Structure formats: C-alpha cells, structure tokens
Structure 1
C-alpha cells in the first residue's frame, strides 16, 4: 500500500483501522456490509490525485475490533464513528461517499452532524424501511436463519432475496493480498447477518432533515442494478427526497468491477455537479 498512511483511532468501545492517502479536500469513503477499506482499493488511489482520501474498517469488522460486537448494530453509533474519523483528520466539512450499509451510515451522519458533511453521495443505501412491505425485508429473518442453519445458508438467502444472486463473483485469484482481503470479508459475514443487516433493514431515514440539506445529498445507484432490492430502495429514497437518481457504472459493487469508470463518474459529483 505505497503512499498509504495507516492509523489506529481509539473510539468508545472500539479501535478503528484507518487509511489515508493523497492530499487536498477530504473525501471520506465508508465501506458497506461485510467489507472494509479494501473494497475501495480500486477507486481510492485514483481519487487521491486531488483529494485526501480517508477510509476505515467499520467497528466490529476486519481490523477494527470492538469490545462488544453487538454495539456495532447501531446505525447511530456507526455514524458517530464516522464523525470521529473526520474529527481525527482535522477536516472541516468533508465530502462523504458511502455504499450500501456505508451509505446508510452516511445518511445518519448527515442527519446528525450536517455541519460535518459538505456533500454526501449515497450509493445504493438499502433503506427498505421506506417500502410499503417493509416487514418482508426485515433482517431479523436472516439473522435467525444464520443462527439456525449457518452463514452459507444466510448468504444464499440474502443474495436471492435482494436479487443479487446473479451478480458477477470476484474473479479467481492467487494474489496473497487479494486472498487475505477475501478471507477478512468472509470472516465478517457472521456479524453482518447477526447485526448489520438487522440494523440497516430497520433504519428509517429522517426525510425532512435530509431534504433540508438540498443538493448536499446525492442519491446514486448502479446502471446494472435494475430490479434489485438496494436499487429499488434507492429509488424510493430519491422519490421521498424529491431528487433525481444519479446512475453510476456497474451494479451494487460497481466500484469493484469497474473502478476507473466508477471513479470518473464519481469525480464530478464530488466537485458539486448535480
């Protein structure tokens, strides 16, 4: 990781693994789901050409151990962690990009601490609480399945229920760093199903507070995500906010599959383009 500064940030009940690269205005990238900073290894170096790019492993995942992993289930607590990362960097209002559960953290951060967020790009936040049939998407069912039948069964059900079962899997690799990353992500899955999915599925964004921030909130989704649950939830959020949905390259994980194209599409959004 040439050119990457690695820090450990102590926060109440956890120690966060943080990575910083580049210089210029601060851009915070918040990982989603069972992922960590490595999910942004494709786009972070590109964006670091003119930004100070900050990433971190959310509490209870990978290299950010938590004293009590169950506390990681709170979206409010995860947003507080993001705020503390920004405070540690010494940033004024920063641009924030979050994907999936990371976008939910970003929404809560912008709601709770709007003075910290110059602009939020929320990429496919699965805010299924906005659905008329929200109860069908409650993550408690996946948590119970994981306890009863194990992580592989919960993973299969999650991919089927969200419509993402057909998304391209990571290509085969024998690269040690890539294998280490995949192993970390796999180790995060039990906590993802036990806690994160439940908290995110029950998260109700404060629409009025977010609407008051106007163009500072950008809602984005992958072009190839049509019909999938995260895309549908993102469409519902855009409609509730009265804003236009911005389409990005790829699917729910477009920044992984097409990092160059994704970074090129993301850059004007960071600079204030509608």
Structure 2
C-alpha cells in the first residue's frame, strides 16, 4: 500500500492505493476521513485497486491556500478528478456515502466519461423538491447554531439521533473521542459544509441522462430513519430503486464482511469485476 500526497489547488490531498483490478475510489462524508473505509478495503483489494483519501480540510489533507467555500462541492469534484487523473488513464468507479452525495452526483454530471459506476450509499442530498425540505433545512440551520453555542459534541449527538439508528448514532458519538489527526474534522464539517452542501442544486435532468452509471444503495437497518429518505427519493425521481445492503448507514463498517459479499455479488452482476477475483 502506498501513502502519498498530491498537491491540488489550495490543498494537499492525502491518499492511499492498494489492491489489484479496476480502480474504485471511496469518498467519505461528514467526517472526511478515509479510515471509515479501512475494514471494507481489506476485503475488496482482491478484486479492486482501492483508492482511499481524506477530503480537503480533513485529517491529513491540509489546506494550503485560499478556499471558496461557496463552491465547496465543485472544489471537491475537481479534487477527485485531479487525483484519479493522476492515478489512472482508465475509467473508474466511485463509492460515496452520506455527506458526499452532492459531490458524487456533481462529479457524475461533470465528468461522466471518466466513471464506470457511481455507488451512492444513502446520500444526504436534499433536492429542492424533497418533501419538507424547508423543515429539514431549518433543522440544519438550527443545529449550526447549537454547534456555535454548545460545541461539536452537542451538535453531533443531536445530528445522530435525528438521522440514524442506535448503532450508527453510537458510532458518531464514539467518533467524538478523536485522535490528533482528526480532532478538528467535525468543526470543519459544521463550519464549512453542513448548512450548504446537502442543499446544493443538483441538475436532476442531467443526472437522468447518466443514470445507467448510477446505483443507489441503502442499509436494511436504515429504513424508517431520515438517512434513508433523500437517496430513495432521488432514485425514485430517476425511475430507479435502491438496493438493500446489510447494516445501516455505516454497514460497510459495522457489517463489513456481509456488506462485502453483497457488494462483490452486485459488481459481478453488472460485470464490474470477474467472478474469480484476481489475487
């Protein structure tokens, strides 16, 4: 496995590459840290060349220049394009979760020719036609005020209870005991991404033209919780369904082996990987 840095506009991106086979990039959501995918990477490297990275501003990916946070989704989109263009000339797949939803949708709309498949696992992207979107946006704005008044611990606890089942909520709370590498991640998320990125305008008509490359996933234990709803809504608008996977919002972490089996089976069905892994 290689651990490297790539300088992009305004940031230095930390990334790791490991495995064999077609490239797949994992895009983290709210906490921006690649390590949430380490468990699933260990299982997938027989089938894929797995690329993990810290999104700019998180963990080891440092800010080194001025930032335009009003275009944060576009900036993160360009980071993906620069990183993967640096690594391969071939098309690749993307697996994005949660708060990365707006980024991966924008990437597919912007650079559709570079990707084979985009897996959207419970994306927290709220279209302007999402039911009660104003109420949801009001919750985000209120929680931003909690963050500034009571701190990130209080905000994360409320956020987890609103969106996720008990197991996933507890993971969020445990994540508050951060090490030195990630101690500012939640602060960065709430300050620069939380209120804007989930509500950016996604060109649904353009996304519809690329929907053959887009696969929606959801955790079987997420049904009935808010984390399930926006992805299922977008899928329905596109005339698609979401595919059920083991666990909840973080099933790739909490149920990594069962998740891997389901994921490889799906990838084999769509001819993304061969039935016999390259070891």
2 CA distance for matches of 1:116 and 1:73?
A: 22
Q: 1:68 to 1:59 in 2, by over 3 A?
A: same
Q: 1:71 to 1:46 in 2, by over 3 A?
A: same
- Deviation of 1:103 (Å): 3.2
Q: Name stretches of at least 5 consecutive residues in structure 1 with no aligned partner.
A: none
Give per-residue Cα distances to partners, 1:203-232, cap 9 Å, x unaligned: 232211111113210011110001221201
Number of the residue aligned with 1:135: 134
Equivalent residues in 2 for 1:92-131 (5 A)?
A: 92-129=90-127, 130-131=129-130
2 CA distance for matches of 1:259 and 1:68?
A: 38
Equivalent residues in 2 for 1:157-196 (5 A)?
A: 157-164=158-165, 167=168, 169-170=170-171, 184-196=181-193
Indicate whether 1:228 and 2:229 are aligned.
no
Number of the residue aligned with 2:276: none
- Deviation of 1:259 (Å): 0.9
1 CA distance for matches of 2:47 and 2:70?
A: 32
Indicate whether 1:16 and 2:38 are aligned.
no
TM-score, normalised via structure 1 length: 0.88
Q: 1:180 to 1:83 in 2, by over 3 A?
A: farther
Give per-residue Cα distances to partners, 1:1-55, cap 9 Å, x unaligned: xxx1111010000000000001221111111111411111001121111211111
1 CA distance for matches of 2:198 and 2:176?
A: 30
- 8 Å CA contact retained: 2:102, 2:125: yes
Equivalent residues in 2 for 1:240-255 (5 A)?
A: 240-255=237-252
Give per-residue Cα distances to partners, 1:134-189, cap 9 Å, x unaligned: 12222333222211221122112212322445636349x9xxxx999755444311
Q: 1:163 to 1:45 in 2, by over 3 A?
A: closer
TM-score, normalised via structure 2 length: 0.87
Indicate whether 1:149 and 2:150 are aligned.
yes
Q: 1:135 to 1:183 in 2, by over 3 A?
A: farther
- Deviation of 1:68 (Å): 4.3
Q: 1:11 to 1:201 in 2, by over 3 A?
A: same
- Secondary structure in structure 2 of the residue aligned to 1:267: helix
Give runs of ≥4 in structure 1 deviating > 6 Å: 178-181
Give the aligned CA root-mean-square deviation in angstroms.
2.6
Q: Name stretches of at least 5 consecutive residues in structure 2 with no aligned partner.
A: 272-279
Q: 1:137 to 1:201 in 2, by over 3 A?
A: farther
2 CA distance for matches of 1:180 and 1:239?
A: 38
2 CA distance for matches of 1:123 and 1:182?
A: 26
Q: How many pairs does the alignment contain? A: 267
